[in-house]
Amino acid sequence: MDFQTLISSSQLHEAHPLITVPDTWSQGRTVFGGLSAALMLKHMYLRINDDSRKLLSFNCNFVAPLLSETPFTISTKILRSGKNVTQVETIIEQNELTCLVSLACFGVERQSSVNVPAHETPAKLNQSINPKQTLQYIEGLFPAFIQNIDLNLQHGAMPFSGATTTEIHGWMKFKGEEKGNLNELHVLALADAWPPTLLQLCNSPSPASTVSWYIEFLQPLASNDSQWLGYQVSTHQAGGGYGTEDAKIFSQTGELIALSRQTVAVFDS
């Protein structure tokens, strides 16, 4: 089952849909975080039902493991919808436990004399994508969801390699031909596909998980979804089993489209 099929499920039109994600989209025993976040965002869009309100920011806390092959419910509450801004909360529950909580902000575009273009361009990111640098999925070595996504690593290191760099630069896209254009749902899911940069500092296999994730969307993405998205991320600080990493997401033509920050827990002791 591909990404587009999952986020297009008719069940998401229900007020409290009951969803099950196959283990082909798992990350260990849990559902791939990017997919669960995208399902929450899609439910928000359907509840707001207003195309004039564009996604400005999305914040997600991963409270408890969300198991694949196990039904869970999605509930969305519009906290406030003003003239310009709508604030929304979505919760995923499974087995009577809260697993994920997200808050998102949607805004109506208005006329303004303030205009600061996103001039930043990808650094260390070669726009000529070499297929030989695309990671080949190996069952048992990579999380199952990677079989649905292409990651083209250009700068950085593999997890558990004992590297000294905390950076990753590369390209990402869904496998196969998706219908329609890329939108914020695709960006959100793909932005969580790369392993935390803390893992490449580890000398041996070590569990890690995202605790909280905040992503801001700077401008619409107008490109065909068969193209790649650029990703640059680095860890600014880590200690005591936690680290903070910042990422930038670019279109294939070099426009900065989103900024992301994650707090990651690593269990390497």
Confidence at residue 68, expressed as pLDDT on a 0 to 100 scale: 97
Q: ∠ CA(92), CA(215), CA(175), 5° rounding?
A: 80
Give the model confidence (pLDDT) of 132-190 as tens digits. 999 988 988 899 999 999 999 999 988 899 998 899 999 999 997 555 678 999 999 99
Give every CB contact of residue 220 below 8 A, 6+ residues apart in sequence: 54, 257
pLDDT above 90: residue 254: no
Confidence at residue 226, expressed as pLDDT on a 0 to 100 scale: 53
Tell me which of 199 and 179 has the higher pLDDT: 199
Give the model confidence (pLDDT) of 72-97 as tens digits. 999 999 999 999 999 999 999 999 99
Give the model confidence (pLDDT) of 26-48 as tens digits. 998 999 999 999 999 999 999 99
CA distance 173 to 163: 25
Give the model confidence (pLDDT) of 201-237 as tens digits. 999 888 899 999 999 999 876 655 457 899 999 998 9
Confidence at residue 177, expressed as pLDDT on a 0 to 100 scale: 58
Structure tokens at 8: 């297009």
Confidence at residue 178, expressed as pLDDT on a 0 to 100 scale: 55
CA distance 174 to 178: 8
Q: Record the pTM.
A: 0.94
Domains of the chain: 1-108 (3.10.129.10), 121-269 (3.10.129.10)
Tell me which of 8 and 124 has the higher pLDDT: 8
Q: ∠ CA(78), CA(36), CA(63), 5° rounding?
A: 80
Confidence at residue 264, expressed as pLDDT on a 0 to 100 scale: 95
Stretch 103-125: mean pLDDT:
86
DSSP-assigned letters across all residues of 98-165:
EEEEEEEEEEE----S---------SS--SS--GGGBPPP-BTTB-GGGGGEEEEEEES--TTS--S-
Confidence at residue 120, expressed as pLDDT on a 0 to 100 scale: 79
Confidence at residue 225, expressed as pLDDT on a 0 to 100 scale: 46
Say what the alpha-carbon torsion angle 192, 59, 13, 96 is, to the nearest 10 degrees: 90
201: nearest Cα among 171, 240, 156: 156
Tell me which of 99 and 120 has the higher pLDDT: 99
pLDDT above 90: residue 260: yes
CA distance 264 to 62: 10
79 phi, psi to nearest 5 deg: -70, -40
DSSP-assigned letters across all residues of 27-64:
ETTEE-HHHHHHHHHHHHHHHH--TTEEEEEEEEEE-S
